[in-house]
């Protein structure tokens, strides 16, 4: 890997490698790529189900393990913080040990942690085991994107992302439903066991189905950067998650932010002979990556803030149960999955600007009905709005991701995946915290909860519409998918084709 030179104007000091598998890479989705995507999906489905399946069990765990709900909630929260904290090390692990070894290691940690959770004897032991589980499952999605992007190359990038997006969008929606069924029939311990068969199958398939990659034994870990960034992310996310409900929350958020700023200073300083930073900030010199990362940050706000706000609206305003509220989120996931069936092919043949802007416009327009919604609003109307919102956000997501990766040299993809995942997690946490504070303030000032929700939905509509502004700077022309053709800043020039 090239030495870190903050004064260089290029993305890398080395001559850029062609993004993707090379000049002979096919333009069609061939059998090896589809097979690879299927192998990766087995592991990613297990991780995504595990993210949401426990959410419906918090109250049950509180009773079974004789702990207050506020403590039992840490079973879910600690897991999310650990999955975020491990993301920065994922790019280095791929560079050092290769794709296959890192993928199998992540799955083994995930599986062992899940088995330990099923054997937990107290709420404290369960929380510790969930942190351990998160250290494995947190690497899964960055690994999926890295392995698939490197295998697909620029010629098939949009279609490859679209290929895995359908089940990836459906899995989190299925988690609460599956969790409720398992709780009612088998008991809480089986919630953690249910992912183990998928993990074992994913490991078996990976032995021959995941490429070994190009491990570099000389790749050194940026220990100082890791000790700054990972605790910084976890501490900031915790501070934001309890903002408004815990007095020391601003202190935690401030400490987390200082640690992240410390990492930025550390990563940008000149260190001759030192290891490259765990998140390569030189990637942000690439215009398309910079725009893609910014949009992923805003997209994290739009999607995850909505995932927080919409179930609360259904429960507190329309009086539904938690299970029903979860089911009412399904139309949005279905909309995302449906549009992603063909959006990948469109992304490889059309400039991203109008796809992303159009998708965000539809997403904002479909959020607007909630600004007027109340206790008597038809559930069918709201379900239709959720479905259209999913169509819009799904249409924006694939070209947004493809734009961020397209044109990057292949050896930069692991660090790019880590950077994009971090920016999306931070956007999700900040958006959720801001809307939660806004909603709490409005609820305190009114006796009608629907009024508070309507005002908060107006802000969410505005945030989604505001994302169209940076999207207008994306290329409007069809991307040039010629292997190895990159501009001086490492990005792929637009094609002259209409």
What pLDDT does residue 166 have?
A: 73
Least confident window among 221-225, 243-247, 335-339 = 243-247
CA dihedral 322, 172, 291, 417 (to 10 degrees): 140
Place of tokens 């999926």: 144
* pLDDT confidence tier of residue 424, bands split at 50, 70 and 90: confident
* pLDDT confidence tier of residue 13, bands split at 50, 70 and 90: very low
* pLDDT confidence tier of residue 322, bands split at 50, 70 and 90: low
Tens digit of pLDDT for each residue in 257-306?
999 999 999 988 877 777 888 888 888 888 888 888 888 888 888 777 77
What is the location of CATH 1.20.1250.20 in the chain? 28-211, 279-498
What pLDDT does residue 143 have?
A: 92
362 pLDDT above the threshold of 90:
yes
What pLDDT does residue 439 have?
A: 84
CA distance 146 to 418: 9
Least confident window among 179-183, 334-338, 345-349 = 179-183
CA distance 480 to 155: 9
Proportion of the chain above pLDDT 90, given as a percent: 18
Higher pLDDT pick, 200 / 59? 200
Q: What DSSP line would sit under 260-311, residue for residue?
A: HHHHHHHHHS--TTPPPPSS-GGGGGSHHHHHHHHHHHHHHHHHHHHHHHHH
447 pLDDT above the threshold of 70:
yes
Q: Residues in the chain, how many?
A: 498
Proportion of the chain above pLDDT 70, given as a percent: 87
What number is the average pLDDT over the span 164-188? 75
What pLDDT does residue 1 have?
A: 43
What pLDDT does residue 101 have?
A: 93
In this structure, whether the domain defined by 28-211 belongs to CATH 1.20.1250.20 is answered with: yes
Tens digit of pLDDT for each residue in 193-219?
888 999 999 999 999 888 888 888 788
What is the rounded average pLDDT for all residues in the chain? 81
In Å, what is the CA distance from 74 to each residue of 71, 173, 300?
A: 6, 21, 22
* pLDDT confidence tier of residue 402, bands split at 50, 70 and 90: confident
What pLDDT does residue 199 have?
A: 92
- Report the CATH superfamily, name and number, of domain 279-498: MFS general substrate transporter like domains (1.20.1250.20)
Tens digit of pLDDT for each residue in 86-116?
888 998 999 889 999 999 999 999 999 999 9
- Residues 41-52 as b/e (b if ≥16 CB within 10 A, e otherwise) read bbbbbbbbbbbb
Exposed/middle/buried for residue 396 (C-beta within 10 Å: 0-12, 13-18, 19+): buried
CA distance 58 to 76: 8
């Amino acid at each position: 890997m090239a030495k870190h030179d903050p004064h260089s104007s290029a993305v890398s000091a080395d001559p850029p490698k062609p993004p993707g598998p090379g000049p002979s890479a096919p333009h069609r989705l061939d059998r090896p790529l589809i097979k690879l995507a299927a192998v990766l999906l087995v592991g990613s489905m297990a991780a995504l189900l595990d993210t949401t399946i426990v959410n419906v069990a918090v109250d049950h765990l509180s009773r079974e393990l004789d702990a207050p709900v506020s403590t039992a909630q840490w079973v879910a929260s600690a897991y999310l913080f650990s999955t975020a904290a491990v993301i920065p090390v994922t790019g280095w692990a791929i560079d050092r040990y290769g794709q296959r070894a890192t993928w199998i290691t992540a799955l083994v940690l995930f599986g062992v942690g899940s088995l330990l959770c099923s054997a937990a004897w107290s709420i404290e032991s369960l929380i510790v085991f969930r942190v351990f589980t998160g250290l494995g499952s947190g690497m899964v999605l960055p690994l999926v994107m890295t392995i698939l992007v490197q295998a697909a190359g620029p010629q098939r990038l949009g279609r490859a992302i679209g290929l895995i997006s359908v089940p990836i969008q459906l899995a989190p929606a299925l988690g609460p439903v599956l969790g409720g069924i398992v709780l009612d029939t088998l008991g809480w311990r089986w919630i953690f066991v249910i992912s183990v068969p998928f993990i074992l199958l994913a490991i078996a398939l990976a032995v021959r189905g995941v490429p070994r990659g190009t491990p570099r034994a000389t790749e050194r870990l940026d220990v100082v950067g890791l000790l700054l960034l990972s605790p910084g992310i976890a501490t900031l996310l915790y501070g934001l998650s309890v903002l408004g409900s815990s007095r020391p929350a601003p202190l935690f958020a401030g400490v987390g932010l200082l640690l992240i700023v410390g990492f930025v200073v550390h990563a940008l300083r000149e260190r001759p002979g030192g290891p490259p930073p765990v998140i390569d900030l030189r990637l942000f010199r690439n215009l398309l990556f910079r725009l893609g990362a910014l949009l992923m940050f805003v997209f994290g706000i739009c999607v995850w803030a909505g995932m927080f706000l919409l179930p609360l609206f259904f429960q507190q305003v329309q009086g539904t149960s938690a299970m029903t509220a979860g089911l009412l989120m399904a139309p949005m996931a279905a909309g995302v999955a449906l549009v992603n069936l063909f959006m990948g092919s469109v992304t490889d043949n059309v400039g991203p600007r109008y796809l992303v802007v159009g998708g965000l416009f539809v997403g904002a327009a479909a959020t607007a009905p909630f600004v007027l919604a109340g206790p008597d609003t038809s559930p069918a109307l709201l379900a239709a709005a959720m479905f259209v919102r999913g169509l819009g956000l799904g249409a924006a997501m694939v070209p947004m991701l493809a734009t961020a990766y397209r044109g990057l040299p292949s050896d930069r993809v692991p660090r790019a995946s880590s950077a994009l995942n971090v920016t999306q997690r931070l956007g999700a946490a900040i958006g959720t915290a801001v809307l939660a504070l806004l909603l709490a303030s409005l609820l305190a000032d009114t006796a009608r909860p629907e009024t508070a929700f309507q005002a908060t939905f107006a802000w969410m509509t505005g945030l989604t519409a505001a994302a169209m502004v940076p999207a207008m700077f994306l290329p409007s022309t069809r991307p040039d998918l010629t292997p190895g053709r990159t501009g001086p800043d490492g990005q792929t020039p637009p094609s002259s084709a209409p």
